[in-house]
């Protein structure tokens, strides 16, 4: 059995490379291909070599539409503007998506929501297990305490903070 054909938009990035490696290593999954933005230097490279899993004989492309057409599901980790465009393309082609892009504007988010009316979309701007566990625990505690109980016990603000680019890739970035 060939498995679910998965395409990776943004396959040259850190997350894209990891996704390619995971797809190749996972039973029931087949790599349909990957694409990168023209000018990045990744176009026509072997996607397996780019991901560090060895030569696969699949070249990185520059056509998102072709990749979506060739995939059962496309995984998207790019920029907010590109994500909204790719969601519209996937909806037009009737292909499912997984979106992990962060920082979408209201307009871009609305575009993804419109696409989700036509195709299945899993959209989680933060795929970190730790963050999603924390969000689930906070929601569970708040539900158990109710609105009045929670406000008497604590006051909490969760604020997003951008990590400087150099620190993001450092082992010290995890604090």
pLDDT grade, residue 110 (50/70/90)? very high
Tell me the two tokens of residue 140: 């569970």
Whether the CB-CB separation of 20 and 58 falls below 8 Å is answered with: no
44-96 per-position pLDDT tens digit: 999 999 999 999 999 999 999 999 999 999 999 899 999 999 999 999 999 99
Over range 27-43, report the average pLDDT: 93
Over range 148-168, report the average pLDDT: 55
15-31 per-position pLDDT tens digit: 899 999 999 999 999 99
Confidence (pTM): 0.73
**Is the pLDDT confidence value at 158 over 70?**
no
Tell me the two tokens of residue 39: 């000018």
Report the distance separating Cα 10 and Cα 7, nearest Å. Answer: 10
- Burial of 57: CB neighbours in 10 Å, binned 0-12, 13-18, 19+: exposed
Average pLDDT, the chain: 84
Tell me the three state secondary structure of residue 55: coil
Share of the chain above pLDDT 70, in %: 78
102 CB-side CA count, 13 A: 8
């Amino acid at each position: 059995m060939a498995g679910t054909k998965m395409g990776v938009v943004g396959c040259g990035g850190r997350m894209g490379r990891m996704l390619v490696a995971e797809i190749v290593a996972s039973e029931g999954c087949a790599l349909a291909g990957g694409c990168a933005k023209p000018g990045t230097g990744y176009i026509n490279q072997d996607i397996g070599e780019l991901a560090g899993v060895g030569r696969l004989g699949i070249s990185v492309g520059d056509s998102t539409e072709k990749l979506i057409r060739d995939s059962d599901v496309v995984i998207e980790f790019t920029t907010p503007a590109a994500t909204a465009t790719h969601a519209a393309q996937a909806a037009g082609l009737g292909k499912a998506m997984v979106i992990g892009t962060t920082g979408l504007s209201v307009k871009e988010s609305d575009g993804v929501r419109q696409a989700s009316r036509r195709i299945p979309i899993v959209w989680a701007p933060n795929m970190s297990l730790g963050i999603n566990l924390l969000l689930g625990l906070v929601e569970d505690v708040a539900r158990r305490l109710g609105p009045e109980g929670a406000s008497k016990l604590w006051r909490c603000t969760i604020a997003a903070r951008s990590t400087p680019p150099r620190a993001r890739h450092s082992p010290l970035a995890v604090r």
